[in-house]
Amino acid sequence: MAHVLITGGAGFIGSHIADLLVDHGHCVRIIDLLDPQIHGNGKGFPRYSNPAVECMQGDVRNPADIRKALQGIDVVYHCASFTGVGQSMYQMRSYLDTNSTGTATLLEAIVTQSLPIKRFVLASSRAVYGEGTHHCLTHGILYPGMRNRCDMERGRFEVYCPSCGQALEALPTEEERPLTPFSLYGWTKKHQEDLCLYAADIFGLPVTILRFFNVYGSRQSLKNPYTGILSVFHSRISAGHPVSIYERGIPGRDFIHVSDVARANLLALEKNVAPGTCINIGTGKMVSVREIAVLLGERLGTSPEIIDTDEFRVGDVCRCYADLARAKSLLGFHSHIDLEQGIDEFVGWALREETEDLYLKAVEELKSHGLFGRVKCGETA
């Protein structure tokens, strides 16, 4: 039995990891700030909190809170983070503070007290890659940079080869490729990885880095309009509002159900992976954002109005899905839940919850910071 600390353990993914670890006989403590953007104001720990889990309200940026939380702990899952890609682009200080400084505070407490941590699992993200790995028929494998805003304003939303201009095909994205995040969120996830790799190299901390792709499922905050495609779409549909799909529905993502992600986290504790290893956690399949909106509508038994717009958000990637060879070989991991099952689980939960459609507020914020674009009149691809 391990004594486990989960930072951000009241959140979506952390709470599912907590439940699974308790089911497997581990002793779990969580530390969570209860960020109002995720949990609402003054509501305390969420209703879904597991009664077998010790809940501590505290801040990973606060050394005293962290020292207290780490007492008697031998395994750490670091999930506490701000997670809004678009929001991170203008809330630079708070994203750096929570994600980067929070991670440094946690690691400093571990190494300065020489705590006997036998596994440290970081919840990282596909956002560290930036655009997914692509392929040009002439120039082979490429790691494209951010798409050009002028192209996008002309309705050219594909990813193009910088040498010959051909539209590229997306390949599974592998862990060893260069990391070129586009968003400040992505940069802070890379900082977290770098800090953990540093602690592994210098202090021998047994770090495993899991890079989650697009996670969905029950408990993904329905109040937070800044992240979680399914949760945002659900809030729109429940309020009777249309769902906007950007870039004419071209972008594709790898959607993985949270129960599969929790299982990958359990495997990271059970398998003896070399310190400092990064592992993708996804399904290995790409689905368009449009398909997700249609499927969600079907599973909700409604026909939502889906608007394929010519708008785009600056810094969004076009296509990214996981290469799972390493997850299979090192963790024996593959996803179990298909999209229909996963969406049914999400919908079954979401229909019993209060929703708040704050989507337009998030869009207005992006627009006011110049982070929202549209095809200029008369110019389409």
Ligand X SMILES: NC(=O)c1ccc[n+]([C@@H]2O[C@H](COP(=O)([O-])OP(=O)(O)OC[C@H]3O[C@@H](n4cnc5c(N)ncnc54)[C@H](O)[C@@H]3O)[C@@H](O)[C@H]2O)c1
Residue ranges that bind ligand X, judged by CB under 6 A: 7-8, 10-14, 31-35, 38-39, 59-61, 79-81, 83, 98, 102, 123, 125, 212, 214-215, 221
**Closest approach of ligand X to the CB of residue 72, in Å:** 19
Sign of torsion, CA 216 221 227 233? positive
- The answer to the question of residue 141 lying near Zn ion (CB under 5 A) is no
Main-chain phi, psi angles of 79, to 5 degrees: -110, -15
The option from Zn ion, ligand X, none interacting with 139 (CB < 5 to 8 A, set by class) reads Zn ion
For Zn ion, the binding residue among 51, 138, 272, 354 (CB under 5 A) is: 138
What kind and span of H or E run contains 312?
strand 311-313
Which alpha helices (DSSP H) does 78-183 contain, by range? 85-88, 92-95, 102-112, 149-153
Token pair listed for 47? 């209703």
283 interacts with, out of ligand X, Zn ion, none, CB within 5 to 8 A per kind? none
Q: Which of residues 142-161 bind Zn ion (CB under 5 A)?
A: 161
Measure the CA–CA gap between 37 and 146, rounded to whole angstroms: 29
Q: State which residue, 214 or 238, has the beta carbon closest to ligand X.
A: 214
# of chain residues touching Zn ion (CB under 5 A): 6
Q: How far is the CB of 153 from Zn ion (least distance, A)?
A: 23
* Closest CB 131 distance from Zn ion, rounded Å: 15
3-state class (DSSP) for residue 99:
helix
3-state secondary structure of 35: coil
**Shortest Cβ 161–Zn ion spacing (Å):** 3
Q: What is the DSSP string of 198-255?
A: HHHHHH---EEEEEE-EEESTTS-SS-TTS-HHHHHHHHHHTTPPEEESGGG--EE-E
Of the pair 160, 192, the CB lying nearest ligand X is at: 192
First-to-final CA distance of the chain: 58
DSSP 377: T
Q: Which does 102 bind (CB under 5 to 8 A by kind): Zn ion, ligand X, none?
A: ligand X
Q: Name the strand (E) or helix (H) holding 68.
A: helix 63-69
Which of Zn ion, ligand X, none does 136 bind, CB closer than 5 to 8 A by kind? Zn ion
212 binds, among Zn ion, ligand X, none (CB under 5 to 8 A by kind): ligand X
Residue 31 CB, nearest distance to ligand X (Å)? 6
Choose from Zn ion, ligand X, none: what does 125 bind? Cβ within 5-8 Å by kind.
ligand X
- The yes or no reply on residue 136 touching Zn ion (CB under 5 A) is yes
Minimal distance in Å, beta carbon 163 to ligand X?
Answer: 31
- CA gap 314, 130 in Å, rounded: 12
Q: How far is the CB of 84 from ligand X (least distance, A)?
A: 9
Q: Which residues bind Zn ion (CB under 5 A)?
A: 136, 138-139, 161, 163-164
